[in-house]
Amino acid sequence: MIKTLQLLLALCCFVFVLFSPYTKLFVKVMCVICFLLWGLIAVLRSKLPQPAGEKLFLNFMPPNPLNKFVLFFLSSAVFSTLLSVNIAHSQRILIERYILFALFFIYGAFISYSKKYVLPLIIVFAASGFIFGIGGIWDYFRSLNMRLFTIFGKPVDFTIYLGFFIPLSCALAFFAKNKLLRFIGWGNIFLLWPCLVFNASRALWVAAPMAVLFICFLKNKNIFLIVLLVITIGWSFLSPVYKKRASTTFDVSTWNRIDIYMSAIKIFKDYPVYGAGLGMSEKLLRQYAQPGGFSDGDKHLHAHNTYLEVMADMGITGAILFMLIFAGFFTLLLRDKLLWLNYPCDEQAILLGLSGSVLATLIVASAATIITVGVTDSTVFWFLLGIVSGLLPAAQRIKAATEYT
């Protein structure tokens, strides 16, 4: 019975990564179904004879080296909600977003714990990138707009998903041995890099190459040099329009977001410890703006910087705990490099690719409010983080120590 439920949970996760970009309602439905399945699995497992000294909560949360960091961050979110200037609003944000993120992190940890599900899920996820590439190129040449934001006419969080797909695809193409993984990886490279240019996100123009170079440097210095050369040469083929835009990447005055950043900083100064409350940036940014800072019709409800928004919403406490999640992940990745380099090639490629996806997302987060808002790309991010952190050698040691079954 437990194995059947585990299979159903894995299948729901497969469906989730394939269709999540296109509808928020679908993500919420999948979360509810996954929650029910995981709850049943945990209850049934708790009825089995437990190893000596086994903790009951381990039946509900698979062993993962980032568990404590995620739980501390979630606890800080609860405190920020209780101390919010608008508890009702923050409570809704806590339930609709932060608890959702924690649940999908657990689902990802489950997938990585049951390693037999990792490979098929990555194939499905990479295939979703293939769809993105085809749909994106189709829309670009059909409309010839300067910036690409749609897939077959459907608006999506294009920038964020490119940040997920491009590092993963490069890792699969360069380092995997599975022929299907390599085929999808190379296919995605030829489809998604043009989409990267057409999307014209300056943050992603920095994030995607840096993430790919990072994973190549960790694995193979020769490939790192080749990729660096290709990216450098590729720059010369950009059209003058894109070159002009790229030249302003680090010119903050061209971002038209200074007033928004300053508003977020002012909120943080007024609520430095636990912040104004979850989601309160959406309510307070206009109030804290300079007169005429942005018009009433301006749709900027977020700080356009994830780290500033976390500071404004959750204070220094939440910001530190938020950063500790990723500091812990990359510390473990780099510390145990010699250990995961002994993994099978496909597992190495997946670990490197998803690590690159995490890094690219964190870089883009410096110019966009992501990871902690929305229910589509954000849930996918936490789900992928659950998977990749569960593949770390530290996770395998925890697994052996707890005898989790």
Q: What is the pLDDT of residue 404?
A: 45
pLDDT in tens, 349-360: 999 999 999 999
Q: What is the pLDDT of residue 405?
A: 44
pLDDT band, residue 227 (cuts 50/70/90)? very high
For the chain, domain boundaries: 64-252+300-402
pLDDT band, residue 190 (cuts 50/70/90)? very high
Q: What is the pLDDT of residue 149?
A: 86
Tell me which range, 142-151, 179-188, 249-258, is most confidently predicted by mean pLDDT: 179-188
The stretch 384-388 carries a mean pLDDT of 96
pLDDT in tens, 287-322: 887 765 555 455 547 888 999 999 999 999 999 999
Q: Would you call 47 helix, strand, or coil by DSSP?
A: coil
Structure tokens at 160: 């964020």
Q: What is the pLDDT of residue 54?
A: 47
Q: Would you call 281 helix, strand, or coil by DSSP?
A: helix
The stretch 386-393 carries a mean pLDDT of 94
pLDDT in tens, 82-128: 999 999 999 999 998 999 999 999 999 989 887 889 999 999 999 99
Q: At what angle do helices 179-199 and 118-143 cross, to 10 degrees?
A: 40
Q: Is the pLDDT of residue 280 over 50?
A: yes
Q: Is the pLDDT of residue 53 over 50?
A: no
- Lowest average pLDDT, out of 68-77, 159-168, 257-266, goes to 257-266
Please provide the average confidence, as pLDDT, over all residues in the chain.
Answer: 88
Structure tokens at 39: 């709850």
Structure tokens at 158: 């294009």
Is 0.95 surpassed by the pTM of this model? Answer: no
371 contact partners, CB below 8 Å, separation of at least 6: 306, 361, 362, 365, 378, 381, 382
CA distance 201 to 332: 30
Higher-confidence residue: 176 or 43? Answer: 176
Q: What is the pLDDT of residue 294?
A: 58
77 contact partners, CB below 8 Å, separation of at least 6: 94, 98, 278, 314, 318
Q: What is the pLDDT of residue 245?
A: 83
Query: Exposed (0-12), middle (13-18) or buried (19+): which is 397, by Cβ within 10 Å?
Result: middle
CA distance 378 to 23: 13
pLDDT band, residue 255 (cuts 50/70/90)? confident
Residue identified by tokens 């030829």 is 190
The stretch 16-33 carries a mean pLDDT of 85
Exposure string (b/e) for 150-175, b if CB count within 10 Å is 16 or more? bbeeeebbbbbbbbbbbbbbbbbbbb
pLDDT band, residue 50 (cuts 50/70/90)? low
Q: Is the pLDDT of residue 251 over 80?
A: no
* Residue 11 backbone class (left: φ over 0; alpha: ψ -120 to 50; beta: rest): alpha
The stretch 335-354 carries a mean pLDDT of 94
Q: What is the pLDDT of residue 55?
A: 53
The stretch 5-9 carries a mean pLDDT of 86
